[in-house]
Structure 1
C-alpha cells in the first residue's frame, strides 16, 4: 500500500530504534478513507477464506478491523482489556504484556461470540513482539474457532512478533513491513 507508506513517512514519529508513533494514522486519530482502503485490502487478501467474523484487540485495532469486517460483510468481535460490571464472568481470558504500554493486561472475549463453527480473521494495527497477538490466538484456539490468518497494518519485521507467529503456522499478511528505525529513519522492506 503505497499510500500508507507515504503517510507513515510524512506523519509518523520515531521515538527510538524500537518504537514508531503512529498516532496521526492509527492510534489516536483515524483517517476514515485510508482505513476503508486498508480494510478492503485485507478483505481482498483473505477473500478465498470462508471468514465468519473479524476479531481484534481493543482499542487501536478496532477501526481497521471494522473496515475489514464491513468489506467482508461479517461481524466484528474485539477482545476487551478491562473487565466491566456487565462482563461475561466465563469469558475466555489471557494475560498479555504490552510492548508499547509497558504493562501486563488481561484480554477477554465472551464465549458467546466465538464458537467452533467460526472462521475468524484477526486484524491488528501494529505487531512488534507479538505478545497480544499470541494471547488472542490462544483464545481463538481454546474457543475451537478456526483462524484464517492475521492481518497487520504495520509489521516491525526487525522485531520477532510476526516471525514467531508465522513459525506457529499462522498466515500473516502485513500491509507495510518496516525493516528498521535505526538512525531516526524509517526503512521499509
Structure 2
C-alpha cells in the first residue's frame, strides 16, 4: 500500500534501529480514512477464505481489525490484556512478552467468542519478534478454530516474527514491509 508507506515516511518516528513510533497514524492517533483503506485491503486479500471471525489484540490492532470486520461483515474479537471483574474465569489465556512495552502480560479471549466452528483471520498493527502473535495463535489453536491467515499492517522484516510464522505454514499478509530502520530512516523491503 503506497499510501501507507507515504504516511509512514511522513509521520513515523525512528526511535532506534529496532523501534519505529507510529503514534500519529496507528498507535495513539488514528487516521480514519487510512484505517478504512487498510481494512478494505485485508478484506480483499482474505475474501475467498470463508472468514467467520477476526481476532486482534487490544489495543492498537483494534481499529484496523474493526475496519476489516466491517468490510467482511463478521464479528471482531479482541484479546484482552487486563483481567476485569467480569472476565470469563475459564477464558483462553496466554502469557506474552511485549517488545515495545518491555513487559510480560496475559492475553485472554472468552471461550464464548471463539470455537471450533470458526475460521479466523488474525489482524495486528505491527509484528516484530512475534511474541504476541504466537500467543494469539496458541489461543486460536486451543479453541479448535481454524486460522486462515495473519494480516499485519507493518512487518519489520529485520526481526524474526513474520518469518517464523511463515515457516510454521501460516499465511502472512503485510501491508508494508520494513527492511531496516538504519541511519534514522525507514527503508521498505
TM-score norm. by structure 2 comes to 1.00
* 1:30 aligned partner: 30
Q: Deviations over 1:138-182 (max 9, x none)?
A: 000000000010000000000000000111110000000000001
Offset of 1:185 from its aligned partner? 1.1
Q: How does 1:10-89 map to 2 (within 5 A)?
A: 10-89=10-89
Partner Cα distance (2:18, 2:66) in 1? 28
* 1:133 aligned partner: 133
Structure 1, gaps ≥5 residues long: none
* 1:150 aligned partner: 150
Offset of 1:46 from its aligned partner? 0.4
Q: Report the 3-state secondary structure (helix = DSSP H, G, I; strand = E; otherwise coil) of the residue aligned with 1:7.
A: helix
Partner Cα distance (1:25, 1:174) in 2? 17
Partner Cα distance (1:103, 1:79) in 2? 17
Partner Cα distance (2:42, 2:175) in 1? 8
Partner Cα distance (2:134, 2:93) in 1? 12
TM-score norm. by structure 1 comes to 1.00
Partner Cα distance (2:131, 2:167) in 1? 14
Partner Cα distance (2:168, 2:56) in 1? 19
* 1:179 aligned partner: 179
Partner Cα distance (1:59, 1:94) in 2? 16
Given the alignment of the two structures, is residue 99 of structure 1 paired with residue 99 of structure 2, yes or no?
yes
Q: Report the 3-state secondary structure (helix = DSSP H, G, I; strand = E; otherwise coil) of the residue aligned with 2:155.
A: strand
Q: Report the 3-state secondary structure (helix = DSSP H, G, I; strand = E; otherwise coil) of the residue aligned with 1:159.
A: coil
Q: Deviations over 1:32-77 (max 9, x none)?
A: 1100000000000001100000000000000000000000000000
* 1:4 aligned partner: 4
Divergent runs of 4+, >6 A: none
Partner Cα distance (1:78, 1:185) in 2? 32
